Amino acid sequence: MDIKVLGTGCAKCKSLEKATQEAVAKTGVNATVTKVEDIVEIMNYNVMTTPALVIDGKVVVKGKVPSVDEIAKLLTK
C-alpha cells in the first residue's frame, strides 16, 4: 500500500503524518508512508485544503487530522 501525506509543513501536517504512522503500526498493514511537501506535486492531487491523506493514489482525507482509529479504518477498508 502506498500512502502519501500531503502538506506544506504546518503543524497539522506533521500531526497527520504521525497519526498515519501510528495507524500503520497499529493495523500492521504493509505500507510505505511518504511526506509530500512540494506544492506543485500537492496540487496534482487537486486538494485545496491541507493536510491531505492519499492512499494508493486516491485522496481519502483533506483539510483535517483524523484520529489514529479513523485512519486505521481507512487503511483496512
User: What residues make contact with another protein under the rule CB under 8 A?
Assistant: 7-10, 12-13, 39-40, 42-43, 46-50, 63-64, 66
Give Cβ neighbours of residue 14 (< 8 Å, ≥ 6 apart): 7
What is the distance in angstroms between the CA of the first residue and the CA of the last residue of the chain? 12
Please provide residue 27's backbone torsions phi and psi, each rounded to the nearest 5 degrees. Answer: -80, -20
Question: Considering the complex, what minimum distance in angstroms separates the CB of residue 74 from another protein?
Answer: 12
Please pick, among 1, 2, 9, 10, the residue that the annotation labels catalytic: 10
Question: Considering the complex, what minimum distance in angstroms separates the CB of residue 10 from another protein?
Answer: 3
Question: Catalytic site residue 1?
Answer: no
Question: Catalytic site residue 73?
Answer: no
Please pick, among 5, 13, 42, 75, the residue that the annotation labels catalytic: 13
- Helix 11-27 / helix 68-76 crossing angle, nearest 10 deg: 50
Instruction: Kindly list the catalytic residues.
Output: 10, 13
